[in-house]
A and B are shown apart, each in its own frame.
Chain A
Amino acid sequence: MQVVRHVALSVFKESVRDRVLYSLVAFATLLIGASYLIGQLTAGQDVKIIKDLGLAAIAIFGLFIAVFIGIGLVWKEVERRSIYSLLSKPIRRHEFILGKYAGLALTLLVNVAMMTAAFYVVLAYMNTQASDALRAVWPAPAADPGMLRAVALIVLELLLVTAIALFFSTFSSPFLSAALTFGLWVAGHFNADLRNFEVVVESKTAAYLARGIYYVLPNFAAFDIKAQVVNALPVPPTYLLLAAAYALVYIALLLTGAVLVFSRRDFK
């Protein structure tokens, strides 16, 4: 466990030095610039739009970090041969994979936490600028803590994306890993359509196949509760728990796969 922690900390340190946290500056600029513009253009809807935009931006910035660092985590080590020195130390290959994953997960958590903090600061500021009449028509307060549930599911989604990117990076080039990870992410957001494929096709085989793919592909749509929290619609705690359990099982399977592939690999 100590070894995993040390590998994770080194990934985090390298990510920070590699200017990953610069994305936070881009996020803050986007959010503050957008709030100003939206404030000028809309009346009454500005807080809702900022909430939509902020949560979507947290998810997208996190996605780019997860994919673009995740695909290089193992590949870079092998390609640049830094792994030769590392694996000659008292470290097992599965500890290396788990450490890499934990390091990127930590980077993402810090990023998301800071983006969320900036998001709430902007919303709190907008709250101070709004009149009582305007606040009364909002479906939820500006700095609604309930939005943290959406952020929590975004974190789970990003952890799953990271596991996918890491899995591909154990045997594939970064370009292919990025294409496959993004492909799965897109497919995973729309795969609810596959579940009821028999409605649009007559072939039973095609319908079964679609149903099978539905169960195998990661269901990213399950992690998207942005619209519910922004409109203050109920989200049952059991839903959150099930989503968390689903993500953890999927991540565990992907990491197991990554470890199995990596453990058998020759570093020529």
Chain B
Amino acid sequence: MDAIRTEALTKHYRVGFWRPRPYVALDALTLEVRQGEVFGFLGPNGAGKTTTLKLLMQLIYPTSGRAEILGRPVGDVAVRRRIGYLPENPYFYDYLTAEELLDYFASLFGYAAAERRRRVASLLDEVGIGAERRLQLRKFSKGMLQRVGIAQAILNDPEVVFFDEPMSGLDPLGRREVRQLILRLRDRGGTVFFSSHVLSDAETLCSRVAILAEGRLVASGHLSNLLAFQVRGWELVVTGLTEAALERATTLGHIARATPLGAQHYALELPITVAPDGVLSELTACGARLVSLTPVRETLEDYFVRQVADAPRERGLGTGT
């Protein structure tokens, strides 16, 4: 059974007051997220990430298509007992304290008072909220609210956690703590589905990613599959390389860039069109010695930019899907 499954999930809005026209917020998203994986849901602003999360939480209803969490329809209250959700830029009740808010949410799961106290105290410790837990939430900074938001999302030891921009508003220390938390959730067997702009986080944490652009899924799969074979050049490090030999190779177009590392010691960037063994033979014939030769692979950021740049821009209906 998949943790999350969507089939042609679609959401249209009507925009404009006098002459309303359809706007495709999400277009036929089909996705499967397996249990126990950390899944990155990536895309630029307005790509449809939050729309997808809201559909999965049934905060909005789909125009067509269907979605399931843990094999049950998303509206099922029984499913909500087994999931957690952190909305983007969460906001809570001004006049409740962090402790009271979590106690209130815990009560909705039916936990007894003693169990609620235990959970709330341990969660606030886990997300790094100390004495401030007894302050009213209107006095909290954005980062502190984010921590409370994370705490409420994992209050019920969820099997699937949905994080919408979990690193938003956090300082570097906070981001590190959230990364560790996500890994802990995964190690406990949980599934984490998170949307993020921070590609380095996705690269560090995710086993699989999906990239959304203009409401459409443009790529998805294992990071290793998406990036492994996308070699975009070679880095050749040599020593004993004379300036004359370097100039000749550059003139021939064999070297895209040369970065000096020391006396006659260079890191050379070779374009993908050049065979590295040929250049190496040429340079060694002039007295250079090989230190290392490594392929330069595409980063998730390169891949992301390429996919998003290729995505169609029009989001009205009837413009092709």
Q: Determine which of B81, B83, B92, B136 lies in contact with A85 in the assembled complex, contact meaning CB atoms within 8 Å.
A: B92
Q: Could you tell me the distance between the alpha carbons of A76 and B87 in the complex, rounded to whole angstroms? A: 16
Determine if B149 and A2 form an interchain contact, defined as CB atoms under 8 angstroms apart: no
Determine if A87 and B58 form an interchain contact, defined as CB atoms under 8 angstroms apart: yes
What are the 10 tightest A-B residue pairs by CB atom distance, in nearest-first order? A17-B95, A88-B85, A84-B87, A266-B60, A6-B107, A89-B108, A90-B80, A267-B59, A80-B91, A88-B57
What's the least CB distance linking B261 to chain A, in Å?
52
What's the least CB distance linking A184 to chain B, in Å?
27
Interface check A3, CB cutoff 8 A: yes
Interface check A206, CB cutoff 8 A: no
Q: Could you tell me the distance between the alpha carbons of A82 and B86 in the complex, rounded to whole angstroms? A: 11
Most chain B CB inside 10 Å of its own CB: which residue of A82, A85, A87: A85
**Number of A residues with CB within 8 Å of any CB on chain B:** 26
Determine if B80 and A85 form an interchain contact, defined as CB atoms under 8 angstroms apart: no
Q: Give A69-83 as 1s and 0s: 1 = Cβ < 8 Å from B's Cβ atoms.
A: 000000000001111
**Shortest Cβ distance from A78 into B: residue:** B59
Q: Determine which of B83, B91, B92, B110 lies in contact with A88 in the assembled complex, contact meaning CB atoms within 8 Å.
A: B83
Q: Give B241-262 as 1s and 0s: 1 = Cβ < 8 Å from A's Cβ atoms.
A: 0000000000000000000000
Q: Report chain A residues within 8 Å CB of B61.
A: 264, 266
**Shortest Cβ distance from B89 into A: residue:** A81
What's the least CB distance linking B63 to chain A, in Å?
10
Q: Give A231-268 as 1s and 0s: 1 = Cβ < 8 Å from B's Cβ atoms.
A: 00000000000000000000000000000000010111
Q: Report chain A residues within 8 Å CB of B86.
A: 85
Determine if B54 and A267 form an interchain contact, defined as CB atoms under 8 angstroms apart: yes
Q: Determine which of A3, A17, A82, A90 lies in contact with B92 in the assembled complex, contact meaning CB atoms within 8 Å.
A: A82
**Shortest Cβ distance from B86 into A: residue:** A85
Given known A-B contacts A13-B100, A18-B95, A80-B91, A85 and B60 have beta carbons under 8 A apart? no
Determine if A84 and B110 form an interchain contact, defined as CB atoms under 8 angstroms apart: no
Given known A-B contacts A88-B85, A89-B108, A268-B13, A81 and B91 have beta carbons under 8 A apart? yes
Q: Determine which of A14, A80, A88, A89 lies in contact with B96 in the assembled complex, contact meaning CB atoms within 8 Å.
A: A14
What's the least CB distance linking B105 to chain A, in Å?
6
What's the least CB distance linking B246 to chain A, in Å?
59
Determine if B92 and A2 form an interchain contact, defined as CB atoms under 8 angstroms apart: no
Determine if B104 and A10 form an interchain contact, defined as CB atoms under 8 angstroms apart: yes
Q: Report chain B residues within 8 Å CB of A17.
A: 95-96, 136
Q: Report chain B residues within 8 Å CB of A10.
A: 93, 96, 104
Determine if B85 and A84 form an interchain contact, defined as CB atoms under 8 angstroms apart: yes
Given known A-B contacts A14-B96, A18-B95, A87-B59, A81 and B108 have beta carbons under 8 A apart? no
Q: Could you tell me the distance between the alpha carbons of A10 and B104 in the complex, rounded to whole angstroms? A: 7
Determine if B87 and A90 form an interchain contact, defined as CB atoms under 8 angstroms apart: no
Q: Report chain A residues within 8 Å CB of B94.
A: 14, 18
Interface check B215, CB cutoff 8 A: no
Q: Report chain B residues within 8 Å CB of A89.
A: 80, 105, 108-109
Q: Could you tell me the distance between the alpha carbons of A268 and B104 in the complex, rounded to whole angstroms? A: 25
Q: Report chain A residues within 8 Å CB of B92.
A: 82, 85
What's the least CB distance linking B163 to chain A, in Å?
12
Determine if A266 and B59 form an interchain contact, defined as CB atoms under 8 angstroms apart: yes
Interface check B146, CB cutoff 8 A: no
Q: Could you tell me the distance between the alpha carbons of A17 and B94 in the complex, rounded to whole angstroms? A: 9
Q: Report chain A residues within 8 Å CB of B105.
A: 85-86, 89
Q: Could you tell me the distance between the alpha carbons of A82 and B100 in the complex, rounded to whole angstroms? A: 14
**Shortest Cβ distance from B110 into A: residue:** A2
Determine if A268 and B108 form an interchain contact, defined as CB atoms under 8 angstroms apart: no
Interface check A91, CB cutoff 8 A: yes
Determine if A85 and B90 form an interchain contact, defined as CB atoms under 8 angstroms apart: yes
Q: Could you tell me the distance between the alpha carbons of A173 and B87 in the complex, rounded to whole angstroms? A: 23
Q: Determine which of B77, B91, B108 lies in contact with A6 in the assembled complex, contact meaning CB atoms within 8 Å.
A: B108
Interface check B48, CB cutoff 8 A: no
Listed by A's residue number, 14 A-B pairs whose Cβ atoms lie within 8 Å are: A6-B107, A10-B93, A14-B94, A14-B95, A17-B96, A17-B136, A18-B94, A81-B87, A84-B59, A88-B80, A90-B77, A90-B78, A90-B80, A267-B59
Q: Could you tell me the distance between the alpha carbons of A80 and B137 in the complex, rounded to whole angstroms? A: 13
Q: Determine which of B81, B84, B85, B93 lies in contact with A14 in the assembled complex, contact meaning CB atoms within 8 Å.
A: B93
Q: Report chain B residues within 8 Å CB of A268.
A: 13, 60
Determine if A267 and B80 form an interchain contact, defined as CB atoms under 8 angstroms apart: no
What's the least CB distance linking B225 to chain A, in Å?
32
Q: Could you tell me the distance between the alpha carbons of A85 and B88 in the complex, rounded to whole angstroms? A: 10
Q: Report chain A residues within 8 Å CB of B239.
A: none
Interface check B152, CB cutoff 8 A: yes
Q: Give B46-75 as 1s and 0s: 1 = Cβ < 8 Å from A's Cβ atoms.
A: 000000001001111100000000000000
Q: Could you tell me the distance between the alpha carbons of A74 and B126 in the complex, rounded to whole angstroms? A: 32
Q: Could you tell me the distance between the alpha carbons of A17 and B95 in the complex, rounded to whole angstroms? A: 6
